[in-house]
A = this chain, B = another copy of it.
C-alpha cells in the first residue's frame, strides 16, 4: 500500500523522473508521445505530487502563515474567513496559529510558522510592536491586518477607527443628541483608543462639552457593557444616546435598557461599531459603523499573493461607513429624556 511517487510514474511511462517533473510543472518541452504516456500514468494512479518534497526542493512551501487571535470575536472570525476565501483558488494554503493577543505567545507562534517555512505571513491584530515584527519576520513577506503598525516598511490593511468613531458620533450629534455615553473597548487595544479619539474629535469639532462621567468601562463584551449601562442608569445621569465601541457592547447596552423598559430609539439611541451579521436583526435593527472584515481578509491575502510575486504593495486604509438603521432617533427638542 505504498503511496505512488514520481519515480513510479517514470517507470510506467518509461522515462526518467526528471521528465515527469517537467511535464507536471510545464518547465520544459517534452515530446508529445512521452507527455501523453506520463499524463496517462499520472491519471491512472491518481498521482498527487508530494507537496512536502516539492517544498523542500524548491524552497517554496506554498503555505502562508496566519497569526490569529482566538478571542471569539465575530470580527476576527470574519477576517479569517476572508483569508481562507482569498487563498482558495490559489495554490497557497493558510496555516493558522493562535497568538492569544499576548506578545510572547505571538512571538512563539510566528517562530513556529517560520519553522514551517511559510512563504508569507498574515498577522491579524495582535500586540506585537513594529520592531518586534520586523525583527522576527526579517525578509518574509508580511501583511498586517486590522491594525496599523507605525513602520514604513510594513504593509497594513486596516480601517480608520478614528474616522469611524467620528462619523458615528457626528451622526448622533446631528440628530440632536448632546448627552452621549461612550462604552469603551479594551483599554490596551489601539482600536478602542482610536474609536474613542474619534468620539472626542466629533465633540470638540461641534463645540460640545464632553461629560467624562458618560465614558463607561468596557472590554468589547456584551456582558460588561450591560453592567456599565446598568450602573449608568442607576447613577441618574442624563443621557439620550449611547455609542458602543463594538456591536457586542451595543447588544449589552440594548439589553440593559430593555430590562429597565427604556425604549430604543424613542428614549435612548444606540450606535454600534462592526456591523456584525446579527446587528441587522437586533430590535430595533442597529445603526452601526460597518467594518468590511471579510473583505479585509480577502484583500490582504490577495495582496500577499502579489507581494510574493514581486509586485509591491502599500498599506491600504479602508474607511468604515455608517449603516443607518433604526436604533437612532432624532432628539425631540425641548423635551430631553429622563430630565
In the complex, A255 has a CB within 8 A of chain B: yes
- Contact at A280–B222, with CB atoms within 8 Å? yes
A52 and B50 alpha carbons, distance in the complex (Å) = 11
In the complex, A251 has a CB within 8 A of chain B: yes
Residues from chain B with Cβ under 8 Å of A111 in the complex: 48
Partner of A283, one of B74, B85, B283: B283
Known: A84-B70, A281-B251. A95 touches B93 (CB 8 A): yes
- Contact at A98–B74, with CB atoms within 8 Å? no
Q: Chain copies in the assembly?
A: 2
In the complex, A49 has a CB within 8 A of chain B: yes
0/1 string, A84-108, CB within 8 A of B gives 1: 1100100001111110000000000
- Of the listed stretches A55-63, A149-157, A328-336, chain B binds A55-63
A80 and B78 alpha carbons, distance in the complex (Å) = 12
Number of A residues, CB within 8 Å of B: 53
In the complex, A177 has a CB within 8 A of chain B: no
In the complex, A254 has a CB within 8 A of chain B: yes
Residues of chain A in range 113-128 having any CB-CB distance to chain B below 8 Å: 114-117
- The smallest C-beta distance from A161 to any residue of chain B, in angstroms, reads 22
Partner of A252, one of B52, B55, B281: B281
Residues of A within 8 A of B (CB): 1, 48-53, 55-56, 61, 63, 68, 70, 72, 74, 77-78, 80-81, 84-85, 88, 93-98, 111-112, 114-117, 139, 222, 226, 248, 251-252, 254-255, 258, 276-278, 280-285, 294
